[in-house]
Amino acid sequence: MYRHSVTIYDAQSLELVKSISDQVNLKVLGIKGYSGLHRGSPVEGAFSPDGKYLYVTNYAMYGKGFNREGTDKCNPGNNYDRSFLYRIDTQSWSIDAAYKVGVVPKVVEVSPDNKFVLVSNWCSYDLSIISTELGKVVRTIKIGAYPRGITISNDSQYAFVAQMGGSVVHKINLVSFERELLSVGSNPRALVLSPDNAYLYATLNTAGRVIAFDLATNKVVESVKTGSAARSLDISADGSALYVVNYASDTLVKVRSSDFKILQKIKVCKAPIGVTYERLQKRVWVACYGGSIKVFSDSPSQ
C-alpha cells in the first residue's frame, strides 16, 4: 500500500511478471462523481475461481474528492472516506473495474460459485457483498468493531467473518443472509476452513494462538500458541497443515491440523504479516511488513 502497486510473480520461476500501479481514472471506470486521476493503497487480494480476475482492496484513496483517510483506530462516527475495491484482469494485468465499498476495506474473498465478492470494512464495521453479475454492492451487513478475516464454504452457502474487536465469527447464510455468532475466542483475525468444511480455523491475535472450531458441535476443540501477535493463516491443499505468521515474534509456524502439534517454527523476517500456501509448487509465501516476500519450499507433514 505504501508503494502504491500490486506485484505479480510467476509461481514456478518466482520472476516478477508485472508491477501494476494503483493509479486509476474512476470516471473512465464508470464511477460517477469523480474526475482526474486517483491513487489507492492496496491491502489484500483474492482471485476469482476461474482465474480471470484478481480483486484488490485499497486501505484508502487519494485525489480529488478524498480528504479524510481512515486509520487503524476508528469507528463509523469518524466519517472517514469510503474506499474502493479494484478488479484486475489477469490477461492484461490491468485494472478494469472498481467498486465503492466501506471505510478502510481489508480482506476480500470470492465465493466458489463466483456469484459474490465479499469485503470486510474495518472502520465502517460492516461487510460489503458485491454481485459479480450486477457489478455493484447488493448488500451491506453490519458486523461490529473491526471486521477482518473472511472464508467461504465450498458450496458457497456460508460466509464466515471474523470480528477482531470481539470474540466471535459471524456465520452468514449467503442465500437468506441470516447469521449465527460463533464464539471462538478474543480477537479473531484470519480464517480458513478445512477442505471438508468440518472445521473453521482462526488466529487469535492478542493471545498469539490458532484454534480449531468444530462446526458440527459449535465448540473450540483445539488450540495452540504459535507466537506473539498471530496474524495471517493458510492451510495446505490436503488440509494436513496450517501455516501462521506471528507479527511480533518474526516467525512462521507450521501446525499439524490433526493434533495441533507444532511441526516447525522459523524466523522469517521482521514483522511478517501475510502468508499463503501455493499449491502448484507446494511453497509457502510470506509477506513482510517492510516490503519483501520470502518463499519457502514446504516439506510433507509428519
Task: Give me the count of residues in the chain.
Answer: 302
Residue 112 pLDDT: 98
Q: Tell which residue, 233, 211, 235, 238, has the closest CA to residue 222.
A: 211
pLDDT average per 10 residues of sequence, the chain (302 residues): 94 95 97 95 97 98 95 96 98 98 98 98 98 98 98 98 98 98 98 98 98 98 98 97 98 98 97 96 95 89 54
Q: Tell which residue, 230, 244, 240, has the closest CA to residue 286.
A: 244
- CATH domain 1-144 topology: Methylamine Dehydrogenase; Chain H (2.130.10)
Those residues whose C-beta lies under 8 Å from the C-beta of residue 63, and which sit 6 or more positions away, are 34, 36, 37, 38, 39
What is the distance, to the nearest Å, from the Cα of residue 242 to the centroid of all Cα atoms in its chain?
16
Check the CA dihedral 110-55-68-205 and report its sign.
Answer: positive
- 148-186 residues labelled b (16+ CB within 10 A) or e (exposed): bbbbbbeebbbbbbbbbbbebbbbbebeeeebeebebbe
Grouping H, G, I as helix, E, B as strand and the rest as coil, residue 100 is strand
Residue 266 pLDDT: 97
Beta bridge partners of 203: 210
Strand order in the sheet with 105-110: 105-110, 116-121, 126-131, 136-142
Q: Tell which residue, 217, 220, 224, 208, has the closest CA to residue 259.
A: 224
Q: Which grid coordinates belong to 11?
A: 509461481
Rounded Cα gap, residues 14 and 47, in angstroms: 18
SS3 string of 167-223?
A: CEEEEEECCCCCEEEEECCCCEEEEEECCCCCEEEEEECCCCEEEEEECCCCEEEEE
In contact, 103 and 70? CB cutoff 8 Å: yes
Rounded Cα gap, residues 293 and 245, in angstroms: 13
Residue with cell 466501506: 102
What superfamily does domain 184-302 belong to in CATH? YVTN repeat-like/Quinoprotein amine dehydrogenase (2.130.10.10)
Beta bridge partners of 15: none
Grouping H, G, I as helix, E, B as strand and the rest as coil, residue 127 is strand
Beta bridge partners of 259: none
Residue 299 pLDDT: 73
Amino acid at 217: T
Query: How do the domains of the chain map onto residue ranges?
Result: 1-144, 184-302
Q: Do domains 1-144 and 184-302 have the same CATH topology?
A: yes
Residue 224 pLDDT: 98
Eight-state DSSP code of residue 103: S
Check the CA dihedral 190-196-198-199 and report its sign.
Answer: negative
